[in-house]
Structure 1
């Protein structure tokens, strides 16, 4: 194994900034979902709603990338032992699976009691079980469900990559090949007699392997790559500057073209090949993860201390906010804007985003402060001002 990988890894506080931007992306997409489907489809400002809904559609894929990054950054240089495996799975059970079950039950029964369908006990339990094992108790829980799938596979990947370290140099193309093999087989395999398609493709971790493996690669080689990742005067060379500018330009092109595709679909009923749409989104999301990682180092250096502290705290609470914010949006939408004034409608959508962000942030913060054992509901919530190494933070298990 590369000797540099055996050194003790230092903390990377900038990752909380990435998490903060990612959760803002999630909230932007969810708070504009009604606007882009029906609410503001005829508005002169529809292009702004479409932009917020598509260009910022990087939250979950960035969280996936970060999760893999942190795991391999922390674990790759550590020998696989029984104690390590027991500790790893215990933390995932306590801080990921239990909150997933709690919120799955919460959203399932909330929607059941608010709905009009009556089910027998047997039907209710069958429906609940089906949603628990597919991550469908509420729309956003698929992300936690696919993360659990990856956690189950992680020790296997860790063993393989430690056993065959030369493979780690090819993790990014390997991840892309696995993901796209799944996408292509799922789309065309039925024509060749294969038992596909998988109807809930988004609930399968195979759909996200490019993000997992890119996170693994950068996590393993971060100490070697950081001069290429961190945009700073001390790191500038012609090759790095060229790479930074090229990445930024390609990211903007992919992201804006992604926005354009959905604008044409929503406004002009345009038709696009779904495989091409998957490719554009995949490219957009992969490049976003890199750009946000680079941006986080700039922001961490440049932001005023107070703003940086707020952004860091938002990142630390992002998992809890992710789990809780749909509840706020669900009830906020019970009181839509009824005035004919278009500006009030714009304000209503903007307030939806702000209410989801601030309301979730405040609720998770107060819950963590005043309710015993808050990890049962929101996973591990790092204490403010606690001085921890990255390994210790990882033990808190943030997605």
Structure 2
């Protein structure tokens, strides 16, 4: 391949929809975390349990998508010091700086709420330890994992470019490494907070790498459309969605039985069901996003695209609004109002976070320091005046 004449790859706007679906998953899990323990006596407990477990695709999908985009954009480009330097500069500015800022914010918030009597030296030591392990607040582990993958990315990219045949084995390599880590940790290492380490998610990273590199070749298999429909592809699509649904149902059922009836399952089975459910789910969400984008419902598509664009900012700040919302619990015996209050937690986390991010990006210079590289919202274009977009897979 002549790297000096690499053609730019096709733009994939539907990927923003996947980010939107992923952040909805994150908010669903976080906003129902209290309800699944408080509503076990409710006849609607199965709904809370479903939203809390079935929607756990958020973090794995973000990791898969980040890897997909990186390898999709970088694989055909020559590896130079300038390219790698630019890559790390962007991650420093748009990921690590906001991560550090929000680590300070949440650590300070928790300090004044719960640890005001702690000695200054212990406070500083605790902050440094939490900053370096992604534990300043419960959700920041994801950014910490992402930083680990950013460190790993140039090495994996170099290896795949040096030995292209390795790309064909990216999926099994990722699964083997992840499950070796899971099993070795269970029986030997017992690393605390193993979910904060990249090896717990490396199968998703390698899946994203495989699809990102081979996307032009895999497109006919991934894009569900009449033009791509062949009997063998339709069978593959159906098998994927059925397997995902079955894994998701099993995953949800295990937690339902455990939470409601105290059923005990082997911890490895939890890992397996979560992995199968969310791993297949990344591919299902990719297909669904493309279908949704092709459907052409302009108002909905635009809203989800924008949600995807601001998803990193929403992710960073939404726990603050959940914390604030839960500070004023609803005291009532009316079950309908209780259900509405729990639903309101999701609405508050999404709505308030989205508004704050949009206002920050729009009116505060240098907003990238707070929420990363988020583009300002474009003015809506009338449908009649907008150019027709080529359909994916056509």
TM-score w.r.t. length of structure 2: 0.94
Map 1:1-399; keep pairs closer than 5 Å.
Answer: 6-37=6-37, 39-189=38-188, 196-385=189-378
Deviations along 1:47-106, whole A, 9 cap, x unmatched? 000000000111010000000000000000111101011100000000000000000000
SS at match of 1:221: helix
Q: Is the 8 A contact 2:362 2:376 kept in 1?
A: no
Q: Distance in 1 between matches of 2:224 and 2:9?
A: 20
1:389 maps to what in 2? none
Q: Distance in 1 between matches of 2:11 and 2:323?
A: 37
Q: Distance in 2 between matches of 1:117 and 1:272?
A: 40
Instruction: Report the alpha carbon displacement of residue 353 of structure 1 after superposing the two structures with TM.
Output: 0.4
Q: Is the 8 A contact 2:59 2:142 kept in 1?
A: yes
SS at match of 2:34: helix
Q: Distance in 2 between matches of 1:2 and 1:286?
A: 34
Q: Distance in 2 between matches of 1:262 and 1:303?
A: 37
SS at match of 1:235: coil
User: When the two structures are aligned, how many residues end up with a matched partner?
Assistant: 378
Q: Distance in 2 between matches of 1:382 and 1:226?
A: 28
Deviations along 1:16-41, whole A, 9 cap, x unmatched? 0000010000000000000012x212
Instruction: Report the alpha carbon displacement of residue 7 of structure 1 after superposing the two structures with TM.
Output: 3.8
Q: Distance in 1 between matches of 2:215 and 2:207?
A: 11
Taking CA–CA contacts closer than 8 Å with sequence separation of 6 or more, which of the two structures ends up with the larger relative contact order?
1
Q: Distance in 1 between matches of 2:312 and 2:11?
A: 20
Q: Distance in 1 between matches of 2:288 and 2:259?
A: 31
Q: Distance in 1 between matches of 2:74 and 2:115?
A: 48
Gaps of 5+ in 2: 380-394
Deviations along 1:159-201, whole A, 9 cap, x unmatched? 0000000000010000000000111110112xxxxxx210110
Instruction: Report the alpha carbon displacement of residue 8 of structure 1 after superposing the two structures with TM.
Output: 2.3
SS at match of 1:362: helix
Change (3 A) 1:347 1:80: same
Q: Deviation above 3 Å: which 4+ runs of structure 1?
A: none
Q: Distance in 1 between matches of 2:154 and 2:251?
A: 35
Instruction: Report the alpha carbon displacement of residue 385 of structure 1 after superposing the two structures with TM.
Output: 3.4
Please, what is the CA RMSD of the aligned residues? 1.3
Q: Distance in 2 between matches of 1:162 and 1:303?
A: 37
Deviations along 1:305-348, whole A, 9 cap, x unmatched? 11111110000000000001000000100111101101110000
Instruction: Report the alpha carbon displacement of residue 6 of structure 1 after superposing the two structures with TM.
Output: 4.6
SS at match of 1:347: helix
Q: Distance in 2 between matches of 1:374 and 1:359?
A: 17
TM-score w.r.t. length of structure 1: 0.93
Instruction: Report the alpha carbon displacement of residue 117 of structure 1 after superposing the two structures with TM.
Output: 4.6
Instruction: Report the alpha carbon displacement of residue 116 of structure 1 after superposing the two structures with TM.
Output: 4.5
Instruction: Report the alpha carbon displacement of residue 153 of structure 1 after superposing the two structures with TM.
Output: 1.0
Instruction: Report the alpha carbon displacement of residue 384 of structure 1 after superposing the two structures with TM.
Output: 2.6
Q: Distance in 1 between matches of 2:7 and 2:179?
A: 35
Change (3 A) 1:2 1:49: farther
Gaps of 5+ in 1: 190-195, 387-399
